[in-house]
Amino acid sequence: MTLAVPPLDPMWRGKSIFYICLVAGLVLDLWSKNWAEATVMPAGYTPGMPTPVVPLIEGVFAWKWAVNHGAAFSMLSGNTLLLTVVGLFALGVMMLYVYRAQVTERLLLVGLGLVASGAIGNLWDRIRFGWVRDFMYFDFDLPGHESLPFIPQRYPVFNVADIAILAGAVLVVIASSRQAKAEAAAARAA
């Protein structure tokens, strides 16, 4: 009995925009984390140690070194193995979407490339260090935190990978919404 393996050609042909976004986002993320480790991280830093806020735009944006042992907002902190497995699974699902995407779905491919770049960047940190390196910080209180308990007082420290994941997810939602509207319009026209 032979096992039929689907052709890998749909992963590559016409989908270079996905790989360009993935590589560019990953390079920028890893470079920026290395830069921050060399310049933002305080000398003699140990995880858990408080770190200073270095303002770039006073009261708006700053550098602040932090390590995150969890996922977004430090959820599942200390569960490195679980987060690694979940990250690898998510990458597998993304690659399935890339495989199935049409070459004309460029916005979807860009979004998936950005999400994949951020996922790989944070996964690299998690496997290499046991935590994710963060260094960007919004230095103001978030509106609504006083009355809504699910809104933190301050946005957590983040990195380029987090930006890529968020931007990519927004693009995937927009692309999916456009696709759904196009399919609904085609169904009405038929």
Q: Distance (Å, rounded) from C-alpha 94 to C-alpha 90?
A: 6
Residue 32: other Cβ atoms inside 10 A: 19
Six-digit token pair at 97?
């979407």
Task: Locate all alpha helices (DSSP H) within 45-159, ordered by sequence.
Answer: 80-100, 106-129
Dihedral of the CA atoms 71, 73, 77, 82 (nearest 10)? -20
Residues serving a catalytic function are 134, 162
Q: Tokens 């749909």 map to which residue?
A: 10
DSSP SS3 for 61: strand
DSSP SS3 for 81: helix
What are the residues whose beta carbons fall under 8 Å from the beta carbon of 103, sequence distance 6 or more?
13, 14, 15
Dihedral of the CA atoms 105, 110, 116, 121 (nearest 10)? 170
